[in-house]
Every structure is written in structure tokens, then in C-alpha cells.
Structure 1
Amino acid sequence: MAIRYELIPDEQITRVKHLCNELMSYQKSLATVRPELFNGMSFESRMVPSVKNAKANYIIAAMDGDEIVGYVYSNVSPKEVYSNEFATFFDMDSVKGNDVGCLSQFYLKEGYRSMGIGSVLYEKSKDWLDSFDDIHDQFIYVSNGNVAALQFYKSKGFKVSHQILDGFIIVLRNT
């Protein structure tokens, strides 16, 4: 298997729609805190608005032949988009600038995990986020129950900052 990595332009985000929806189902299957909140989450309700609200987007896909087997979506967005009717994701006063970086979605299909593909996707995304000199604060949001993702991000140097929605989401922050 020769995995290659392909940048997905914003106007082609529907190419990862099926994986985004798989991610929502996967997160729900692991959740121990309020799994019903995932019922209203989908590509249309999570990724599309996020891409539209961001100042810059980075979507990179792991390709096995012509099949997308994983993706990571990161963005740079005004910090205010992280305070809405759903939740306030972090203390606005703790952010140094007007914008934040976020590794927003990350998913690998079963059978492609623990092969180093996730690390490559993460590094590409992190390099992109780090390329913004004016972005000092980077966040990752991990759904409850996703212990493997939490450990993965911690191994990459992110630290648990706090929880929101009574533990539904664990917020990690760059140090």
C-alpha cells in the first residue's frame, strides 16, 4: 500500500463528506457523556459552517489509490466563532490575538490506524498552523471517550486545558 497525501481545496470539501460523517458516528460510538449530542452533527452542520467561517482552511487527505482513507481539517478563524449557542470553547481573554488555529477534524478509516498515516497528517497540519506567525493559540477538541486521540495529541505536546459541556469535549491547547 502506497499512501499519498493530497491537499483538498475548499471548493472540493464534499470529497471528505463521507469520512466526516463517519467521524461523527465514530465519536458517538465512543462517547460516555451525552452521546445524543452527536445526533445533530454531520458534514453539513460541522464542516461546512466551519470552512465558511474560517479565514484560512487546510484539508489534507490520505489517499490509497483513488480512495480517501483519512483526512485532517485545520483552520485559522476569528476567536469569536468559538463562542456560539452550542458552547464557548475557551476563555476569550486567554487568547493573545484576534484569531486562533484549530486542528478541527481528524479521521482515519479502520484498517489504516497505527500505521503512521495519522502522524503524517498531523505533522502536515501542524506545519501549516505553525506557518502563521500571528497565530499564537492553537486548539484541538477531543470528544469524550476518544482516549486514543487524547493520548495521540498529548504525545505531540498538546496539554489538556479544560472540559466543556460537562465533559462532552476535552479542550487541548498548545503550550
Structure 2
Amino acid sequence: MNLKYEVIPEGRIELCKDLCNELMAFQKSKAYIKPELFDDMNFDTRMIPSIQSATRNYTVVVKDNDQPVAYVYANISPKETYSNDFATFFDPDSVKGKDVGCLSQFYIKEGYREYGIGSTLFNMSIQWMKQFNDVEEYFIFVSNGNHNALDFYKRKGFNVSHDILDGFITVLRNNKQSC
């Protein structure tokens, strides 16, 4: 493997398109609660709107010989962003300040897992979020059935806060001081 980690600007976000679409298919394959909700989820319906609604965006693509094999997308967004027609992800009154950090999308292709890529991308994202002094709360949303991701985030210090949409998504939460 010849891995290269590249922070990409919003203007090059298309580099994540195939990986994002693979992530949505992967999540659907794992889901046992409402898998049909993933039918309309893809790069254009998930990533692009998230980037547009965020205050700040951070995307890292991992390439193996110029072939994208993993990515992470994190953002800083107004807490109100997470109360929309789809769901209310957390009680906005429970958050200090006006913005939250979110590790929003995270995917590693089969065959590249178990090599430390996930820990590296996770650490890069947390360090990026920590630079914003006015952001105290961090969230991760894990789709049902993705037990490996849930366990990974717990090992990294995130705690299960609650489930939404009848268990379709598990909300994990942490704060700046605990990361």
C-alpha cells in the first residue's frame, strides 16, 4: 500500500462521490431498521447539502496510488441545522454555544480496514474541530446495524446519547475537554 492523506477543499469534493455512494450502500446493507430510508441517500442528497449548510467543512481523502480508498467529512454547523424535516438529532437547548462539531461521514473501503486508517482520520478530524474555541460539543451519528463503527467511536471516548427515528440512528456525543 502507498497511502496518501489529502485534505481537500470544497471545490474538489467530487473526489468523494464514489466513496460517499459506497458508504450509503454499505449502511443500507447493514441496516435492519428502515433500510429503505437509504434508497434516496447519496452524494448529491447527503454530502452536498451538508457542505452547503455547514459554517466550516473539513474533508480528508486517503488514496492508494492515486485511487481514493477512504474519506472522512467533518463540519462545524449551527446547532439548528440538526433539527430538520428528516429528524431532530439532539435537543438544541442541551448544547452550549451556537455551533456544534460533527464527524458526519466516514468510510474505508473493504480491504483497507484494520490498518490504522480509521484512527488516523478520526484523530485528524477531532484535531480540526478542536481548533474552534467556540465549539464545545461534538456529535457522531451511526446508522443501525453498523456495530463496528459504534464500537470504534466508543473506544475513542464517545458516549451513546440516544437513538432517533425508532433506532435508525444512534447519536454519540462528546465534548472538547473529553476528546
State whether structure 2 residue 86 is matched by structure 1 residue 86.
yes
Match of 1:166 in 2: 166
Identical residues among aligned pairs (%): 61
Aligned residue for 2:3? 3
TM-score normalized with structure 2 length? 0.96
* CA–CA separation in structure 1 for the residues paired with 2:53 and 2:105: 15
Q: Aligned AA for 2:11?
A: E
Q: CA deviation at 1:61?
A: 0.8
The number of aligned residues is: 175
* 2:136 aligned residue: 136
State the SS of the aligned residue for 1:96.
Answer: coil
Q: Is 1:61 aligned to 2:61, yes or no?
A: yes
Letter in 2 for 1:134: D
Take 2:63 and 2:124, find their aligned partners in 1: how far apart are those partners?
Answer: 14
Segments of 4+ in structure 1 off by > 6 A? none
The offset of 1:2, in angstroms, is: 2.3
1:84-118 Cα offsets, whole Å, 9 max, x none, are 00000000100001000000000000000011011
SS in 2 for 1:112: coil
* Residue 44 of structure 1: aligned partner: 44
Structure 2 match to 1:149:
149
Q: If the length of structure 1 is used for normalisation, what is the TM-score?
A: 0.99
Query: Equivalents in 1 of 2:162, 2:105: separation in Å?
Result: 19
Deviation at 1:4, TM superposition (A): 1.3
Could you give the per-residue CA deviations for residues 116-156 of structure 1, whole angstroms, max 9, x where no partner exists?
Answer: 01111111011101111110010000000000000000000
Aligned to 1:124: 124
Q: Structure 2, unaligned stretches of length 5 or more?
A: none
Aligned to 1:98: 98
Coordinate RMSD, CA, aligned: 0.6
* In 2: Cα distance, 1:61 partner to 1:145 partner: 25
Query: Structure 1: which 5+ residue stretches go unaligned?
Result: none
1:77 aligned partner: 77
- The residue identity in structure 2 corresponding to 1:95 is V
Aligned to 1:17: 17
